[in-house]
Amino acid sequence: MKKGVFITFEGAEGSGKSTQIRNAASFFRHQKRQVVLLREPGGTRISEAIRSVLLDRGNRGMSHVTELLLYLSARAQIVHEKILPALRSGKVVICDRFEDSTLAYQGYGRGIPLPLIREVSRLVRGTLRPDLTFVLDIDIKKGLSRGGRHDRIEREAFSFHQKVRRGFLALARKEPRRVIVVDSGQPLPEVSRRVLEKLQNVFGE
């Protein structure tokens, strides 16, 4: 049996994550590999319940620490219940958001110290790290205008989204081998081509 592969897609709302995840999934399905698609926060019964608390527009009073811990709780469950078992059985796991989103939104965006987040995060994911991460980088206004109804996080100020965007780019600079930035403001065929090219380089047969 082939070794499991763990890929994550990161980036702002409306940056094209769902679209490129479908693109990546078909790349691996062509290789006859079993693909598991997951989204964060969510993907398990417990994590989806946490997701609805996080995104509920009625929860405007949520403290930044509460928010961080809820995201991490949702992740702890999906890692345990879905991601690790799938990787152990040799599947390709593609996740819509993972740890980099927490560092970008709660770290760079909310201002919680990154070393603290990384520390608690280690408890959540153990030694699990993505084999490859795509950051889909998009102009904030363009990204938000692609989305539909805005949830609690999407309704944050422009300056918050700007910090998050810069955060993703800073994270990519720190780990250039794992994290690939793709300019998602380009026409869709070009974005898809860039993603497939990288997948082909790393996972091509």
Ligand X SMILES: Nc1ncnc2c1ncn2[C@@H]1O[C@H](COP(=O)(O)OP(=O)(O)OP(=O)(O)O)[C@@H](O)[C@H]1O
By the criterion CB under 5 A, which residues form the site for Mg ion?
17-18
Choose, by CB under 6 A, the member of 175, 188, 201, 204 that binds ligand X: 188
The pair of three-digit structure tokens given for residue 78, joined into one six-digit string = 């999906």
* Phi, psi (degrees; rounded to nearest 5) at 179: -105, 120
CB of 162 to ligand X, least distance (A): 16
**Which residues inside 135-154 make contact with ligand X, applying CB under 6 A?**
146-147
Residues touching ligand X, count (CB under 6 A): 15
CB of 78 to Mg ion, least distance (A): 16
- The reply to whether 103 sits near ligand X by the rule CB under 6 A is no
Per CB under 6 A, the segment of 46-54, 74-82, 85-93, 179-187 that binds ligand X is 179-187
**Which residues inside 21-80 make contact with ligand X, applying CB under 6 A?**
none
Residue with tokens 């999906």: 78
Residue type, 131: D
Element (H, E) at 46: helix 45-55
Q: Please give the angle made by the CA atoms of 93, 98 and 103, to the nearest 5 degrees.
A: 160
CB of 20 to ligand X, least distance (A): 7
Neighbours of 9 (CB within 10 A): 29
Quickly list DSSP for 115-132: HHHHHHHHHHHTT---SE
Which residues of this chain interact with ligand X, rule CB under 6 A? 11, 13-19, 146-147, 184, 186-188, 191
